[in-house]
Amino acid sequence: MDFQTIPATPESLTIERAEAMAQRQIKKHHVAIILLHWFNATVWLTELATGAALISSPHFRIAPLWYIDIVQGFFGPRAHMLWFHVAIGITWICVFAVYGTFGFRTYLAREVVEREIALDWDDFVWLIVRTLRILGKSDDPLPTQGIYNAGQKLFALMVYAMIPIVMVTGLVMAFHLGGTAAVSWAVVLHFLAVGMVFSGLMIHVYMGAVFPEEKPAFFSMVTGMVNELYAYRHHFKWWKEVKMQELEWKRELEGAGGRAGPGGGSAAATATRELTLDTPTSTRGRGGILRRIFRQPEYWPPYVAGAGLGITLLMTFILMGQGLGASGGFTRYLVALLSWVAPDYVARNPYWSEYAQPGQSPLMNFLVFELIGVVAGGFVSGWLAHRLRISVDKGPHISVRSRYGLALAGGVLTGYGARLARGCTSGLALSGGAVLSAGAWAFMMAVFAAGFIGAYFARRSWI
């Protein structure tokens, strides 16, 4: 079903070949680019929404009054909305700065300069012919296009030219840099640059979300993949590039196989190679994505799991007015048990009695229920990922018995330390760290310091 030779110009396809090509997916976007795209989209949406409402002067107002009322009702005082607008803008600048610095070679140099804005002669012809065709004045075939067509490149060029202007003028306005004249100019330039991007954005969104022929391009911004037929028809030069790479790779594989097994079995070897080449695309179904995310025994990438944890923590602050915790919950279970066995002792002890106020059960607390949820959540996660098993987690040079002994000793130290510091790694370091409690950060440093020092003495337990 593959092309024996890669054609230099697009030729007409047989139905079978077109169908086969429609089934095959090829990779168009890297995950980092997809994430950046949607981050960028969210920023533009919120910034446009708040920015439009911020322009309240009757001479320059662009949004209708009812819209401004709604947005201001949402944020309360105008100063809050301005702060929100500025904060999002600064976050945006920071993210771009990180991408630009650490991804300079991969994203800026290669992705942007060589692919996204590199207009060539074909692109100029394409723009002219495309316009004439839309006007019904021409039937000329369109020149072949690379991974982005000339229209997309023009949009990208404009956006990349305007983004620095938006960023710099935004900073000048937000922090009144460089005096009144600079700020007044910044206001005008900020509006102008945003207006330019916005006009391009209308076409961009229409093309991506509505225009039927470009549907695969929209979905490629979610899955990263486009089908080969779309690539062949719309981005022929890029398709050719991908095919050449595939061919080179196949030749390399064949060359290696030929050397490994001299003579005979080359037909079988070719067959298995075909199979390995085909399987990654054929097993990649719609149900496959969820399965890959939840059912695979590998742990999630730390930044993904960390983001989930961070959002859970944020929700906890909003809903409960406190952070997540663990040791506080265990303390409450213990107090409940103690006040059942020896209520007098609990009442007399200044530490325990704090938790056992008369008329209120020590178990009526967020942390108590949260801990039950933790057990359930951990169990479900491990169960989904086929990680449930009974085992003793230890290094190869320590017996199970000593591991149990050390675990008990470590548990005593951890428990005492956590209650002394009024919190554990979850309740103090994580939750307190997020709300910038000075003690929480001191605690965190101490934990890591002791951990790194103790690591030398405990090395036989783990490595």
Partner 1 sequence: MYVVVSLSLGFFFGFFLERAGFSSAKKLTAQFYFKDFSVLKVMFTAIVIAMLGVAYMATAGWLDMGQVYVPLTFLWPQVAGGLLLGAGFILGGY
**C-alpha to C-alpha distance for 381 and 373, rounded to whole angstroms:** 12
Of residues 108 and 447, the one with the C-beta less far from partner 1: 447
**For residue 227, which phi and psi values (nearest 5 degrees)?**
-80, 155
DSSP state of 214: G
Min dist. Cβ of residue 194 to partner 1 (A)? 21
Min dist. Cβ of residue 272 to partner 1 (A)? 35
Torsion of CA 344, 348, 349, 355, to 10 degrees: 70
Largest alpha-carbon pair distance within the chain?
Answer: 96
Of residues 346 and 440, the one with the C-beta less far from partner 1: 440
Min dist. Cβ of residue 38 to partner 1 (A)? 16
Min dist. Cβ of residue 53 to partner 1 (A)? 13
Min dist. Cβ of residue 229 to partner 1 (A)? 37
Q: 93: Cβ–Cβ under 8 A, 6 or more apart, which residues?
A: 167, 170, 171
Of residues 221 and 407, the one with the C-beta less far from partner 1: 407
| Residue 142, token pair as written in the block | 């369109």
Min dist. Cβ of residue 11 to partner 1 (A)? 49
Of residues 65 and 376, the one with the C-beta less far from partner 1: 376
- What amino acid is encoded at 344 in this protein? D
Measure CA 392 to chain center: 34
Question: 230-249 in b/e burial notation, b at 16+ Cβ within 10 A?
Answer: bbbbbbbebbbebbeeeeee
Of residues 7 and 395, the one with the C-beta less far from partner 1: 395
1, 117, 230, 242, 288 from 21: Cα distances, Å = 9, 28, 8, 13, 20
Of residues 113 and 446, the one with the C-beta less far from partner 1: 446
